Chains A and B, each alone.
Chain A
Amino acid sequence: MIWNEHHECMGRDQLASLQGERLRQMVERIYFNVPFYRNKLQEAGIEPGDIRTVDDLGKLPFTTKQDLRDNYPFGLFAVPQEDIVRFHASSGTTGKSTVVGYTHNDIMMWSEVVARSLTMAGVTKHDIIQVAYGYGLFTGGLGLHYGAEKVGASVIPISGGNTMKQLQLLEDFGSTAIACTPSYAAFLGESIQEAKLDPSKIKLKAGIFGAEPWTEEMRNQIQQLLGLKAYDIYGLSEVIGPGVSMECGMQKGMHVFEDHFIPEIINPDTGEVLPYGELGELVFTAVTKEALPLLRYRTRDLTRLHVDICECGRTLVRMEKCVGRSDDMLIIRGVNVFPSQVESVLLEMSETKPHYLLVVDRQNNLDTLEIQVEVEDQFFSDEVKELEGLRKRISDKLTSLLGLHATVRLVEPGTIERSQGKAQRVVDKRKLS
Chain B
Amino acid sequence: MIIKQLSVFLENRAGRLTELTGILADNDINISAFSIADTTDFGILRVITGKPELAEKVLKENGFAVKITDVIGMVMPNKPGSLHKALQILTDNGISIEYMYAFASADDRATAVIRTDTPQKAIEVLQLHRMELLQAGDVYQL
Instruction: Assess whether B121 is interfacial by the CB under 8 Å rule.
Output: no
Q: Is the CB of A384 within 8 A of B65?
A: no
Instruction: Assess whether A410 is interfacial by the CB under 8 Å rule.
Output: yes
Q: Is the CB of A377 within 8 A of B37?
A: no
Question: In the assembled complex, which residues on chain B have CB atoms less than 8 Å from the CB atom of A4?
Answer: none
Within 8 A of B (CB), among A374-411: 375-377, 380-384, 387-388, 409-411
Instruction: Assess whether A278 is interfacial by the CB under 8 Å rule.
Output: no
| Chain A nearest CB, measured from B23 CB (Å) | 14
Instruction: Assess whether B111 is interfacial by the CB under 8 Å rule.
Output: no
Within 8 A of A (CB), among B1-48: 5, 7, 9-11, 37, 39, 41-42, 44, 46
Within 8 A of A (CB), among B68-114: 69, 98-99
Q: Is the CB of B39 within 8 A of A375?
A: no
The verdict on A412 contacting B11 (CB below 8 Å), with A383-B98, A383-B99 known, is yes
Distance A376 CA – B67 CA, assembled complex (angstroms): 10
Question: In the assembled complex, which residues on chain A have CB atoms less than 8 Å from the CB atom of B10?
Answer: 412
Report the nearest B residue to A391, measured CB to CB. B41
Instruction: Assess whether B137 is interfacial by the CB under 8 Å rule.
Output: no
Question: B interface, how many residues as a size bin?
Answer: 20 to 34
The verdict on A409 contacting B41 (CB below 8 Å), with A377-B60, A377-B65 known, is yes
| Chain B nearest CB, measured from A372 CB (Å) | 10
Within 8 A of B (CB), among A285-334: none
Q: Is the CB of A375 within 8 A of B99?
A: no
Instruction: Assess whether A413 is interfacial by the CB under 8 Å rule.
Output: yes
Q: Is the CB of B44 within 8 A of A375?
A: no
The answer, among A384, A388, A410, A414, for a CB contact under 8 Å with B63, is A414
Instruction: Assess whether B66 is interfacial by the CB under 8 Å rule.
Output: yes
Q: Is the CB of B66 within 8 A of A387?
A: no
The answer, among A377, A384, A409, A414, for a CB contact under 8 Å with B44, is A384
The verdict on A380 contacting B65 (CB below 8 Å), with A387-B44, A388-B39, A410-B42 known, is yes
Q: Is the CB of B44 within 8 A of A411?
A: no
| Chain B nearest CB, measured from A96 CB (Å) | 31
Question: In the assembled complex, which residues on chain B have CB atoms less than 8 Å from the CB atom of A220?
Answer: none
Distance A380 CA – B67 CA, assembled complex (angstroms): 7
Distance A58 CA – B41 CA, assembled complex (angstroms): 53
The answer, among B41, B44, B64, for a CB contact under 8 Å with A382, is B44
Instruction: Assess whether A415 is interfacial by the CB under 8 Å rule.
Output: yes
Distance A413 CA – B65 CA, assembled complex (angstroms): 6
Known contacts A382-B69, A412-B9; can you find 13 more A-B pairs with CB under 8 A? Answer: A375-B9, A375-B65, A382-B67, A382-B115, A383-B98, A387-B39, A410-B9, A412-B11, A413-B63, A413-B64, A413-B65, A414-B63, A415-B63
Report 23 cross-chain contacts, Cβ distance below 8 Å, ordered by A residue: A375-B42, A377-B66, A380-B7, A380-B9, A380-B65, A380-B67, A381-B67, A382-B7, A382-B46, A382-B69, A382-B115, A383-B44, A383-B99, A384-B37, A384-B39, A387-B44, A388-B39, A410-B9, A410-B42, A412-B9, A412-B63, A412-B64, A412-B65
Residues of A within 8 A of B (CB): 375-377, 380-384, 387-388, 409-415
Closest 3 CB pairs of A and B: A382-B7, A380-B65, A414-B63
